[in-house]
A = this chain, B = another copy of it.
Amino acid sequence: MKEYCFGVDIGGTTVKMGLFKTDGTLLKKWEIRTRSEEKGKYILKDVAFSMNEALREMGIDIEQVEGAGIGVPGPTRGDGYVEVCVNLGWADCNPAAQLSSLTGIPVKAGNDANVAALGEMWKGGGEGYRDVVLLTLGTGVGGGIIQEGQILAGHRGLGGELGHITVNPEEPAVCNCGNHGCLEQYASARGVVRVANKILSGSNAPSRLRSIGDFTAKDVFDAAKEGDTQALEAVEILGRYLGQVISATAFTVDPDVFVIGGGVSKAGSILTDVITKHYHRFTSLSEKKVPVVLAKLGNDAGIYGAAKMALN
């Protein structure tokens, strides 16, 4: 094993980059703009250029670099193949092979949500575990599954897309995906606000949320922490549906820990407590009841996971 590796997390507007020691120490992190024009043909060239710049700046020779990993914001197969990535304009390509030929070092690629799960396993909330499921509660709900230290990519590179599991077929509201009753409709930042608004409009019960114009998911959790019954009801609904999906996932892939990340996870232990309560309710077999913990790496999970991928 050589001394250094790169983690590259490609998003629609910026590319997050990290230079690591192979023991997981982050030496330097920075961002460059994602040039998605002309079908994203400059993105990997910019990444390769920026990697070389960083090496020169740090006085590191490319011969000392073990490899690099890339997180791609779209389906990415186990062999690195990307059929289509709408955000970047890519189609029918293998960015890992391309970046490898641009830099001369081995490169692997994975879907960004799966890569983030690998990051949390390596140096985040899942550290010390080998079978990890990450749920990211942000604008939407994403997920990633790690089995025996490796990303479960799935046939089309879409493993771990837990946000669109149907949890309530009777839901009248439509999800972004066109279905009704996806987990994302209850457990994303928008979902929490939607559910809280529905609860408030269904009664005249007092709630501090009524005095806030456009309240956020954070407002809902803050109110719940102060005992606001309407906010607590929204939190229970989120916990119920997350518990249901986590229980089903435990029966399916049998992990040893669930890690909860994304903006909503800043709510802290109130979130993991309510999820755990409902998860246990739906789970008969005691060996399926594993810890539910908070993510630790925030927006850096992607670069950590990408760097770890280079070492696998």
**Chain A residues close to B by CB (< 8 Å):** 75, 78, 130-131, 145, 147-148, 152-162, 164-166, 169, 175, 177-179, 182, 244-245, 247-249, 251-256, 281-285, 287-288, 290
Could you tell me if B251 and A252 are in contact, using CB atoms closer than 8 angstroms? no
Bound: A267/B160 CA distance, A: 32
Q: Cα distance A244–B155 when bound, in Å?
A: 20
Chain B nearest CB: distance from A115 CB in Å?
16
Evaluate contact between A178 and B145: CB separation under 8 angstroms: no
Give the distance to chain B from A286, nearest Cβ to Cβ, in Å.
10
Contact (Cβ within 8 A) B252 A159: yes
- A158: min CB distance to chain B, Å: 5
* A16 CB to nearest B CB, Å: 25
Question: From A249, which residue of chain B is reached at the shortest CB distance?
Answer: B252
A179-B145 contact, Cβ under 8 Å, with A166-B244, A166-B247? no
Most chain B CB within 10 A, of A131, A145, A154, is at A154
A247 is contacted by which of B148, B165, B255, B281 (Cβ under 8 Å)?
B165
Given A166-B244, A166-B247, A247-B166, does the pair A252, B145 have CB atoms closer than 8 Å? yes
- CB closest residue in chain B, given A158: B254
Task: List chain B residues, Cβ under 8 A from A285.
Answer: 158, 161, 164, 177
Q: Which residues from B are CB-within-8-Å of A154?
A: 131, 147, 253-255
Q: Which of A78, A252, A285, A288: most chain B Cβ within 10 A? A: A252
- When the two chains form the complex, which single residue of B152, B255, B282 contacts A166, counting CB atoms closer than 8 Å? B282
Instruction: Identify 20 new A-B residue pairs, CB closer than 8 A, beyond the known A156-B254, A162-B251, A165-B248.
Output: A75-B287, A145-B252, A153-B254, A154-B254, A155-B290, A156-B287, A158-B285, A158-B288, A160-B252, A161-B254, A164-B251, A164-B285, A165-B247, A165-B251, A166-B248, A175-B284, A179-B283, A245-B248, A248-B248, A252-B253
Task: Give Cα A145 to B147, complex, Å.
Answer: 12
Closest to A245 in B: B248
Contact residues in B for A284 (Cβ distance below 8 Å): 164, 175, 177-179, 182
Q: Which residues of B contact A245 (CB under 8 A)?
A: 248
- Which 7 A-B pairs give the minimum distances between C-beta atoms? A154-B254, A179-B284, A177-B284, A131-B155, A155-B256, A166-B282, A159-B254
- Closest B residue to A243 using CB positions: B166
Pairs A–B under 8 Å by Cβ, sample size 9 = A155-B255, A158-B285, A159-B252, A161-B285, A177-B285, A179-B284, A182-B284, A245-B248, A253-B253
